[in-house]
Structure 1
Amino acid sequence: MNGGPSGFNNAPVTRAFVITSALFTVFFGIRGGGGGGSSKLGLSYQDIFEKFKIWKLIKSNFAFSSTPELFFGVYLLYYFRVFERQIGSNKHSVFILFSGFVSLILQTIVLSLFKDPTANLLTSGPYALIFASFVPFYLDIPVTKRFNVFGAHFSDKSFIYLAGVQLLLSSWKRSMLPGICGIIAGSLYRLNIFGIRKAKIPEFIASFFSRMSLPSSRSHSQAPTRTSPSLGRQAVRSYQAPVPSSIEPSEEAIATLVSMGFDQNAARQALVHARNDVNAATNILLESHSH
């Protein structure tokens, strides 16, 4: 399984998050302390409430403390870009903020229960987002292939789960707590507490991530502005015209839906009904799958 077509097409928020996480890990996690990087980045109750080290709080939510954690973490973040493509960059940004905020509150409550407020009991890294994403992964991504290895039953989703388990147990209790808090945060988002699934961030903030997309995609989207005025008006009219229901779905859109675990023929039919809108087609397939 993969998260759709290669690259970060239609996933600028995930792209920015992965790049930031990798850079923070290199400069503050791996290079910044080697084996001691974990203790320097790990959060304590004192960091949050007594000294309020805001910079350390930011670093701890992006930087992994070791190379293996970086490898599995970035792999999972890259795969879960499929959810940004499904719900859109704006709502995915809300999902990131909500999961991070709720997970931080839960971790703080647990830290306050320990007698030693200075102990670094939490490992660093975007565990909240990664493990919150396992909730829609478990509920929304169907299994398409099953196979046996030495009598053990596996599916095409097993590799993602194994990577998650490896990351969850990477630092034992210090990594298990952020992971469990992330799962709880993802479950609360799924339950639509306070109507969070309908919330959106201001468009000017969301557009910031769109401007960070690959230059090739930006130049492609800006190409019509370089044409003559008459051709530009024709391009705008053709772009705004409704897409005929008989249009042949693009191979990229079909590949995106197939990567989510849907049958290729079902994906093609859903795209036809949705007029080649991947998000609408995903909803059609998910509704039919739930029935």
Structure 2
Amino acid sequence: MFTTTGSLGLYKAPVSKGLLLIPSALAFLLTVVFPQYQTFFIYNLQAVREELQVWRLLCGRLICLDLKDTFCSSLLIYNFRIFERRYGSRKFASFLLGVWILSALFDALLAEALRSVFGVKVDVLPSGPLGPVFALFVPFFCSIPRVQVTQVLGQLAITNKSLVYILGLQLFTSSPFMWIITLNGLVSGLLYHHNVLHMQRVVFVPGWLAHCGSFLLEPLFSTAEPTHEAVLGMGATLDIQRQQRMDRLDQQMLLSQFTHMRRNPQPQGGLMNWTRFFPSLRHRRPANNQAQPAQQGPPNNLQEVSEEQVARLMEMGFSRVDAMEALRASNNDINMATNFLLQH
């Protein structure tokens, strides 16, 4: 669940931590301490078009000059940090770089089309890395499951994703021309996420650059693994606390089963010696505490494995057999399966 995955702070998310700290600090300095330098970071397309100030496509898309935009985008980046833990820092950075370049291209093309066709003059757009922020809504919509938390007025469902969409709506309505940034960010995210025209092979962070960044920057932005008390959170509701405890019990049970299998290997395929696992705790007993009917057939046939999730685990370097068995053992919970495979 997103609530569980999002409860580990900035652990294993150094890129997200850097995006939270550096642009926010610079935005505060430019707004409060050095406002005279804000002119160098204005996203001025007219200056790019008429005065050939191409450098504004870089500087104008690095720092938000509106503190409200800085706050909303920082909250969204904090929520989207789960993709860095899921994909890895290099792939996450490649996604941000790809959509950052694509959205800059689309911004210039759309502004020129509005000026030429409709006579709408778009000279200045909102500054900051807003295109990649809106692009992250694409994997958020496609890969994060929607889980209902409660209902308002008996009909309006509140889910684990509602707050993120509300933050996106707040950012969308913060400027008259923010819809251009939003549209281009979403289009860029769709193109890169679905690898249209093999964009993921064309625009990416090179391995040598990733190693240099890991060596130089990761010590500064790495975060220690949180304790169980920190994961739980003092302000968490009883339902979230109960769910998180259940998830931890699931992981401990899977880890104990895996330890037992490693001590007693079986002649099976795959990089790991897998055997049948117990079903996840939260699937053993329904919410009304009534006993479930006995299942028939061998345990390996109880759970169908999603090919899309298998492909995602294989992209991370795991074999198909291990990916399928991990997903089957964790009841198709890709987050638990990923954590389990990474630890072993």
Asked if Structure 1 and Structure 2 have the same fold, meaning a TM-score greater than 0.5 normalized by the shorter chain, the answer is yes
Q: How far off its partner does 1:73 sit?
A: 0.6
**Cα contact 2:40–2:59 (8 A) shared by 1:** no
Unaligned runs of 5+ in 2: 233-239, 259-270, 273-312, 335-344
What per-residue deviation string (whole Å, max 9, x for no partner) do you get for residues 179-212 of structure 1?
A: 1110101111122113234564222211333232
Give the equivalent residue in structure 1 for 2:66.
66
- Does the residue aligned with 2:157 lie in a helix, a strand or coil? strand
1:144 lines up with 2:154 in the alignment: no
2:191 to 177, 188, 192: 188
2:126 to 123, 126, 149: 123
Q: How far off its partner does 1:93 sit?
A: 1.5
Pairs within 5 Å for 1:27-176:
27-29=29-31, 33=35, 41-113=41-113, 114=115, 119-151=122-154, 152-172=156-176, 174-176=177-179
Higher normalized contact order (CA 8 Å, seq sep 6+, divided by chain length): 1
Q: How far off its partner does 1:128 sit?
A: 1.1
Q: How far off its partner does 1:265 sit?
A: 7.5
What per-residue deviation string (whole Å, max 9, x for no partner) do you get for residues 34-73 of structure 1?
A: 9x96x87443433334333344333321211222211111
Matching residue's letter, 1:28: L
Per the alignment, do residues 31 and 217 of structure 1 end up closer, same or farther by CA in structure 2, a change over 3 Å counting?
A: closer
1:264 lines up with 2:247 in the alignment: yes
Per the alignment, do residues 207 and 117 of structure 1 end up closer, same or farther by CA in structure 2, a change over 3 Å counting?
A: farther
Moved more, 96-105 or 49-58: 49-58
Per the alignment, do residues 198 and 122 of structure 1 end up closer, same or farther by CA in structure 2, a change over 3 Å counting?
A: same
**Cα contact 2:13–2:222 (8 A) shared by 1:** no
- Does the residue aligned with 2:125 lie in a helix, a strand or coil? coil
> Matched residues in 2 for 1:183 and 1:137: separation?
11
Matching residue's letter, 2:147: T
**Cα contact 1:16–1:209 (8 A) shared by 2:** no
Per the alignment, do residues 186 and 91 of structure 1 end up closer, same or farther by CA in structure 2, a change over 3 Å counting?
A: same
Q: How far off its partner does 1:156 sit?
A: 1.3
**Cα contact 2:45–2:125 (8 A) shared by 1:** no
Unaligned runs of 5+ in 1: 221-249
- Does the residue aligned with 1:154 lie in a helix, a strand or coil? strand
What per-residue deviation string (whole Å, max 9, x for no partner) do you get for residues 230-255 of structure 1?
A: xxxxxxxxxxxxxxxxxxxx979x99
In percent, how many aligned pairs have the same letter?
A: 23
Matching residue's letter, 2:74: V
Matching residue's letter, 1:45: L
> Matched residues in 1 for 2:48 and 2:4: separation?
37
**Cα contact 1:30–1:65 (8 A) shared by 2:** no
Per the alignment, do residues 94 and 164 of structure 1 end up closer, same or farther by CA in structure 2, a change over 3 Å counting?
A: same
Number of residues of Structure 1 aligned to a counterpart in Structure 2? 251
> Matched residues in 2 for 1:102 and 1:179: separation?
13
CA RMSD in angstroms comes to 4.1
Per the alignment, do residues 26 and 208 of structure 1 end up closer, same or farther by CA in structure 2, a change over 3 Å counting?
A: farther
1:204 lines up with 2:204 in the alignment: no
